[in-house]
Copies of this chain bind each other. A is one copy, B any other.
């Protein structure tokens, strides 16, 4: 399998991207990584003995502040665009980038193209769960769309179910609808209508409404929501976790010797807390509903998250998940 890597996307590109790719290439001999970007910069971090890393030189790149759709259309020599086109053309099988999220969504949708039958691709992410029942849950849509329809949310449920099944090995994953209350009659016009579609969706195990307060307690394997709410929830989790770590650190440093010694003794525990919300070990966010795996990692990703994401893409390709989805949606009536 061949994975096209945008080596120039992200805050630490290309050095950390290359480092993560080298680690993955060493471990997975069945994967060929094709790195798109400035050849001389990429070569600096490369292990030349690896035969499963290739380089395609490009001079241009998409910046984080570039307008997504315009940059995809105009910067035809950009590393992300050339990598996306290689997937469209069948030279490579999946696209990976840590760069401009909007541009990657546009590249996935406009260059690689939607699966037939999927109206709006959604962004799926994997998060830790504190429940004994499950160690992770998946949430979709994290913000590929600002305005989702009930039909879109129902399709996210099918996509999320297949992801949990094929990539995380859960045969009958449960699906919850993020809502403002657990009772069936709760919700906005959007979620009430989505609820009815989900109830009738025979491809999924729908468990009803779930509330944001319970997300990290692992109320369901897959949580579906519109892209606007999903984006707000994702960013609230990140912001709250960061704020709490900041408060804790400040109070350790400003409360005298006793607190400092306590902090030292607790170092491992505090690291555990930080790790809880470092979900990069589960890989990146999947733009789901396009014809090939398109995966985004955090712009600040270092070699380790890059490596985990390559591993995740390999699992996706290995599982034939997308082939199954393409067949399913081709025959589904929506």
Q: Contact residues of A with B, CB < 8 Å? A: 130, 143, 146-147, 178, 180, 186-189, 191, 211-217, 227-229, 231-244, 246-248, 251-252, 255, 258-259, 261-266, 268-270, 272-273, 276-277
Are A239 and B262 in touch, CB under 8 angstroms? no
Q: Which chain B residue lies CB-closest to A246?
A: B130
Q: Which chain B residue lies CB-closest to A269?
A: B251
Are A239 and B263 in touch, CB under 8 angstroms? no
Are A232 and B216 in touch, CB under 8 angstroms? no
- Counting chain B CB atoms within 10 Å of each CB, the highest count among A147, A180, A255, A268 belongs to A180
- Residues of the B chain whose Cβ atoms lie less than 8 Å from the Cβ of A252: 266, 269
Are B239 and A213 in touch, CB under 8 angstroms? yes
Q: Which chain B residue lies CB-closest to A275?
A: B247
CA distance A273 to B244 in the complex (A): 6
Are A235 and B211 in touch, CB under 8 angstroms? yes
Are A266 and B273 in touch, CB under 8 angstroms? no
Q: Which chain B residue lies CB-closest to A130?
A: B243
Q: How far is the CB of A301 from chain B (nearest CB, A)?
A: 17
**What are 24 A-B contacts with C-beta separation under 8 Å?**
A130-B243, A130-B247, A146-B186, A180-B227, A212-B234, A213-B242, A215-B236, A229-B229, A232-B232, A236-B237, A240-B241, A240-B277, A244-B276, A247-B272, A251-B268, A255-B268, A255-B269, A259-B265, A259-B268, A259-B269, A262-B264, A262-B266, A263-B266, A266-B266
Are B233 and A188 in touch, CB under 8 angstroms? no
Are B216 and A239 in touch, CB under 8 angstroms? yes
Are A217 and B243 in touch, CB under 8 angstroms? yes
Are B212 and A232 in touch, CB under 8 angstroms? yes
Are A146 and B180 in touch, CB under 8 angstroms? yes
